[in-house]
Structure formats: C-alpha cells, structure tokens
Amino acid sequence: MASEEVPETVKAEQPATSTTLHRGLSVRGVVALAVSDITPMASLLIIAPVVLAAAGTAPDTNYPSDGENLLPVLGGGAAAHPRTLYWRYKANEQAAVRDARWKYLKLGGREYLFDIDADPRERADLRQKFPDEFERLKRQYASWSSRMLPYPADARSYDVKTGTADRY
C-alpha cells in the first residue's frame, strides 16, 4: 500500500478558519482511509484513535483522546453520527467550535457565528441574527476549553500572518 496513490480526500481544519486541505491517510500495510467519506465531518485533529485501532491498539486510558475510532464507520459496520469539533491556537486567541452546520469562531478578540452549510467560506457573521446559537456554542467552547491543559508559559505560538504553525 505504501506505493499506492491515496486519494486526496481528507478534510482537515486549518487555523480556526475553515480553509480545508484534502489529503489521504495511509497506514502502511494496514489500511488506507478517505476520512471525508465519513459524514458528517471528520478532522485530522481527532484521527489518532483510528490510526491506533488500525494498528491493533487503543489510546492510553490515562490520557484519553478527543477523537474516536472511526474504523467501524469506514468499514460500513456502523453508521456515521454527528460530532462536535473543538480547537484552539494560542496565537490571536483563536478558538472554534463546529457543531453540525454552525461554527463559533473567536479570532483576535472578535467573535463570529457562521452557517457553514450556507456559507462555507465564512463571509456572513450571523451572531446578531442567531444570538441563541451564538451563545450556545460560546458556552460549549468555554466548557470544553476549561477541561484542556493551559498553554505553558513558555509556549511559542506565532501570529497567523507569519505563516508559521503553532508549536507548544
């Protein structure tokens, strides 16, 4: 499988805006995955349990993963199911939640609400039009973030304008 061309189909969230990459994932000699075949959404940020399951193991229970094993879905043994995705970057205090069609985004001190189904390029801020949805996602993000490790004081995270990815 290492020499096979893997279709460019995996959608991965980029810094908090929804610019997407399309890449295949191949675990040598085990499985080739086209994660965008899973609906609704999947993210490379949550793929570790899939890779571990394909290798015949699971995440350490002392360090649970944000992800889940999607091999049953990929293999047709289970139906795809809704999943809420969360992510953050230290630079510009980036924060985001994606829940079905809705996306909450905080970037550089400003907050937004987008309907990704109707506006995949995230051009129309709908927080004034849908304040309940905006507040719901903002609360969900705050709850999730409170369970994450804080950024270390010496963490380096670059402004997105520099073109350098976050590093912790």
Distance, CA of 135 to CA of 102 (rounded, Å):
12
> What percent of the chain has pLDDT above 90?
30
Q: How far is CA 168 from the centre of its chain?
A: 17
For residue 113, name the pLDDT band (cuts at 50, 70, 90).
Answer: very high
Calpha distance 35→162 (Å, rounded): 29
Using only C-alpha atoms, the chain has a radius of gyration, in whole angstroms, of: 17
Domains of the chain in start order, with CATH, are 10-74 (no CATH), 85-146 (3.30.1120.10)
Give residue 3's pLDDT: 37
The confidence band for 162, taking pLDDT boundaries of 50, 70 and 90, is low
pLDDT score for 27:
44
pLDDT digits (tens, 9 = 90+) for 43-94: 555 678 888 888 899 888 887 777 788 888 888 899 988 888 898 888 888 9
Separation CA 7–CA 25 (nearest Å): 9
